[in-house]
Structure 1
Amino acid sequence: MSSSTHASSPATGSAGSTGTGAAPAALASPAASTARRHPWRLPLEPVSPRARWLLGLSFFVLFFAVWAAVTFGGLVPKTFLADPLTMAREGVMLFTQYGFIGDIGMTVWRVIGGFVLAAVLAVPLGIAMGAYKAAEAFFEPFISFCRYLPASAFIPLLILWAGIGETQKLLVIFIGSFFQIVLMVAVTVGGARRDLVEAAYTLGATPRGIVRRVLIPGAAPEIAEILRLVLGWAWTYVIVAELIGSSSGIGHMITDSQALLNTGQIIFGIIVIGCIGLVSDLVFKLANRRLFPWSAIR
């Protein structure tokens, strides 16, 4: 008996040690070790805000380093690609001698005007299409058809109808943004959770109350994200609108610089557009986080 007891004790102890050692073994797995040392190497693993800023900044540093090496090294003629220093000098000249700040103001105003006009009309229509299937069946075929039409193709017609003034440029941005917003908002609202809708009906909500208190609050964070994305598209439309029949704006400056083969000014104008777009994107993200703290969109 004693020998069997003593024989079973090591087995029991071994099994016990195996059971208690499962957690340390899991922690010592290659994936866990990698997560501790290099969390950025794991799929979907978040990085710290500081690391995100450093990684984003490092790409810009690498980009400008390659650009400088290519241009200063003589691999590309400066007629076709100005070096960073020439681009900076041309940018200073634009602000000090050619009133480039006024061109920037005009372009920003056109983007905001056309985009706000499109959003004010498109978001309610998209909500109606997402909430009511009859409205979706009525509007969706035509809006889907128009969504594939490039906004630039309307410029000749818009010049005939509205001239070459501000109305024409606002309409180009409106056409390029409106149909995209409508469909994306409709899809977002239509994808609401059915259990929340049924629970609201059970609590006595009316159909209009379902839209106001369930569908719109649930879709609001994603609608804000849609507007942020489409705002970036609006910048491409305004430059196209300013390339034809415009006497002001960043697109107009780029066209004049192209005629003079001044690639420094062209590149500077493109970089200014990117910087303004990046700032507006960050502001939009910050506003979305403040307005919708319950949202998972980051």
Structure 2
Amino acid sequence: MRVCFAPVDVPLQRRLQTVAVLQWVFSFLGLAPCCIVLFLYLLFTRFWLVSVLYATWWFLDWETPSRGGRRVALMCRLPMWRYMRDYFPIQLVKTVDLDSRRNYVFGFHPHGILVTGAFTSFCTEATQFQQLFPGLKSYLLMLPLWFRVPFFRDYIMCAGLIPSDKDSASYVLCKEGGGNAVVIAVGGAVEALDAHPGAHVVLLANKKGFIKLAMEHGADLVPVYSFGENEVFDQVPNPQGTWLRWIQDHLQCIMGVSLPLFHARGVFQYSFGLMPYRKPINTVVGRPIRVQKKEKPSSEDLDALHDLYMEELSQLFEEHKGRYGVPEDTHLIFI
């Protein structure tokens, strides 16, 4: 394979963009294991007290992730997130105003490989979420597993991430006065296995947990579609029925996380690596669906709201696909 190296005279701005994305990819893929190793390593050095003191803090702070986390505004406004935004680039698109007196459940689609659009738009201020939706505070849900990793848990909480379990989401949606939005990548880790360039496949047909969550708390549902989310990485072909997909599905059931075999470009060359391609991501926030509070919704209530949500998401996709380079004959596929 012929390797295409990056030119020597790359402008400083582009180099800074690459560094910003590199640290983000490392944080997503490698920081958690490094934090575990560091915690254990310190126990067997003269700095053992650091791990002991942290373990004490960890015990006392155990419930914080499920109680809204600990967002640090300064962290969300760091310049590196703007460099990351400009690398692709990433844009957050508002279609209507959202009432800051209401609480919301944002359904984010598709998951993609690394939920790039969701993190940049809802965990940082790089795309100006607070300017577009004044009075709203967003909380992106992430697998609870990662909040059990020492040091790493504190880092991700700083960006407004909270565990993707019912108790954590309910705590946010129960807050009086409104102004809170939990962002759920509805397809989850399983949907990442279908994140191929050109694919617009959404794992939603049997996903009703977020619908029930919204009804129990009277939180309005907001469909969000991220055009370009599946374009920034290539993935080894893994259609249903192949041995690779069989292994991936079984590992996902055992471990709770999916293992897509993805690749794109490198840092100093454009031929292979784990750095995403420089392709635009446009995250479009749709119209809210007003939800009446029902603490014990019936199956019929859930089905009706679920059908309405799929309708709204499909309409959002159809209304905006032409603007972002999706062929006219391409339609959203629900599985």
Do both share a fold (TM > 0.5)? no
- Higher helix share goes to which structure? 1
Normalised by the length of structure 1, the TM-score is 0.27
Bigger radius of gyration, 1 or 2? Answer: 1
Normalised by the length of structure 2, the TM-score is 0.24
